[in-house]
């Protein structure tokens, strides 16, 4: 018989090192100095020029994610992963988009075990049996590319492997539901049906989003079904799909840092994210290596 995980909900805040500088030669998004993104409407359907730039920037995001993911191991701190991501982005001439976005202090989000999203890289060492989501967004050529994946630290428990496998399938199902002329609610329905068929929950508070010259446009992509998600998909729209799937409750509570969202019952949660373009007959995944 498998023993239950005795270490439920044990992630605690660590020390956060000072913000790392980005060389002045690298073009920055509007919020880099102030912390406040300029809102203003950005069209969700992109011009051929913006699309070409998005393809290159999204490819870089995928490349950085793969390289930082390869560094995940027991004993490595989330801050070391952040430093690696920061340096890879800068070496490629990109600005790490999370840095000072609404005041976020680091280059990537690192979300361990019960952390749903927006975990701040800190002095905590990864431990064998943890799962960790790395969320990489980079800004280059005036556009953002956003992708994330959940990695195992050492050999996973059967429960963790199941959750992570189903979460990846949820992203795949959401992507497969992309089709011009259909409402974006099709995406959430496909994801929710798959998650709930495995007894898992779907986080409501954090959703996919339009992306381009802005990190987050006003277009929202819920990962659960809601009749309010009426926006029709149109060719050349670009947005993210990034389901957060939970073993137990889908409700979150927030750490005092104002960023780290954890499951209210402290059970495990996983996430995968791609930036996609709506193509004539389905999604074009932009954040592939």
Residue 161 CB, nearest approach to ligand MF3 (Å): 23
Residue 286 CB, nearest approach to ligand MF3 (Å): 14
Residue 102 CB, nearest approach to ligand MF3 (Å): 6
Residue 99 CB, nearest approach to ligand MF3 (Å): 8
By a kind-dependent CB cut-off of 5 to 8 A, residue 150 interacts, out of Co ion, ligand MF3, none, with none
What is the footprint of Co ion within residues 134-163 (CB under 5 A)?
135, 146, 148
Q: Helix or strand or coil: residue 18?
A: coil
Selection from 109, 62, 119, 63 nearest residue 259 by Cα: 119
| Residue 83 binding Co ion, by CB under 5 A | no
- Per the listing, tokens 């929202």 go with 220
By a kind-dependent CB cut-off of 5 to 8 A, residue 252 interacts, out of Co ion, ligand MF3, none, with none
Residue 182 CB, nearest approach to Co ion (Å): 21
By a kind-dependent CB cut-off of 5 to 8 A, residue 114 interacts, out of Co ion, ligand MF3, none, with none
Name which of 185 and 240 has its Cβ closer to ligand MF3.
240
Residue 110 is inside which H or E element, if any?
strand 109-112
**Tokens linked to 207:** 């959703």
Name which of 96 and 156 has its Cβ closer to ligand MF3.
96
Q: Is there a contact between 274 and 171 (Cβ–Cβ < 8 Å)?
A: yes
| Residue 240 binding Co ion, by CB under 5 A | yes
Name which of 83 and 156 has its Cβ closer to ligand MF3.
83
CB-neighbour burial class of residue 256 (10 A; exposed 0-12, middle 13-18, buried 19+): exposed
Total residues contacting Co ion (rule CB under 5 A)?
A: 5
Residues that bind ligand MF3 (CB under 6 A): 98, 101-102, 104, 109, 118, 135, 137, 146, 240, 242, 273
């Amino acid at each position: 018989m498998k023993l239950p995980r005795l270490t439920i909900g044990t992630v605690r805040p660590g020390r956060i090192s000072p913000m790392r500088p980005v060389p002045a030669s690298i073009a920055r998004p509007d919020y880099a100095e102030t912390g406040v993104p300029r809102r203003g409407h950005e069209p969700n359907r992109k011009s051929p020029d913006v699309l070409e730039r998005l393809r290159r920037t999204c490819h870089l995001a995928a490349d950085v994610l793969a390289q930082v993911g390869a560094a995940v191991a027991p004993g490595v701190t989330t801050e070391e992963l952040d430093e690696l991501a920061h340096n890879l982005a800068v070496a490629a001439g990109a600005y790490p988009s999370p840095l000072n976005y609404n005041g976020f202090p680091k280059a990537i989000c690192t979300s361990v075990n019960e952390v749903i999203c927006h975990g701040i890289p800190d002095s905590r060492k990864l431990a064998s049996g943890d799962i960790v989501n790395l969320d990489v967004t980079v800004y280059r050529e005036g556009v953002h590319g956003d992708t994330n994946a959940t990695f195992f630290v050492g050999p996973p428990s059967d429960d963790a492997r199941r959750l992570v496998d189903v979460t990846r399938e949820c992203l795949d199902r959401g992507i497969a539901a992309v089709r011009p002329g259909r409402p974006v609610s099709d995406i959430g329905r496909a994801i929710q049906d798959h998650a709930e068929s495995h007894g898992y929950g779907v986080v409501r508070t954090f959703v996919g989003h339009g992306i381009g010259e802005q990190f987050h446009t006003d277009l929202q992509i819920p990962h659960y079904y809601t009749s309010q998600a009426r926006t029709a998909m149109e060719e050349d729209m670009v947005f993210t799909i990034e389901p957060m799937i939970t073993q137990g409750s889908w409700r979150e509570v927030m750490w005092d840092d104002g960023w780290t969202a954890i499951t209210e019952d402290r059970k495990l949660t996983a996430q995968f994210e791609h930036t996609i373009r709506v193509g004539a007959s389905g999604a074009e995944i932009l954040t592939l290596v």
